[in-house]
Amino acid sequence: MQILKFFMLLLIFISSTLIGKCISKKYAYRLEELEEIKSILNVFKSKIRFTYEPIPEIFKEISNKAKANIGDIFKKAEENMRYLSAGEAWEKAVKTSETNLTKEDTNVLLMLSKMLGQTDVEGQISQIEITRRIFRKTNKRSTERKKIKMKNYIVGLEQQ
């Protein structure tokens, strides 16, 4: 009977540890994706401002340079632009892409679709810059939250 209890406790401990590691990896991946978005949006802004390339070409170029999940958004947006407007293509790509971003992060990316292809160059650039600023703040908060959670986790381990 004691062996069964010990085995159950061990199983609970191992599964809790694995769940915790999965959650912490998701936080880490989200932070990486937020950083990637910030840098990619900067490239996007520069391309619109200085090259005057069509948006589908910019999306294609960015999708080739960006890391997996974020690059996938730009790739899908470029493909969607064959039959949708820039804003609609972006919105569909953001909604259908698999990322580690939260719903709040996704909503910020969706805000970009309202101005994309609808306004002049300066309007699009200002919307991209607003989106970048929001992600900068989000990234800062997420990093602080991660530090606090890690500190609490370490303190919890020390108390045991």
Q: What does the pLDDT look like over 79-137, one tens digit per residue?
A: 998 998 888 998 999 999 888 888 888 888 888 887 777 777 788 888 888 888 888 88
Per-residue pLDDT tens over the stretch 67-85: 878 889 999 999 998 998 8
To the nearest whole number, what is the mean pLDDT of the chain? 82
Whether residue 90 contacts residue 116, with contact meaning beta carbons closer than 8 Å, is answered with yes
Whether residue 45 contacts residue 128, with contact meaning beta carbons closer than 8 Å, is answered with yes
Separation of alpha carbons 74 and 78, rounded Å: 6
Q: Which amino acid is at 113?
A: S
C-alpha distance from residue 73 to each of 14, 99, 110 (Å)? 35, 9, 11
Which are the contacts of 78, defined by CB distance < 8 A and separation ≥ 6? Answer: 56, 59, 60, 63, 89
pTM of the model: 0.76
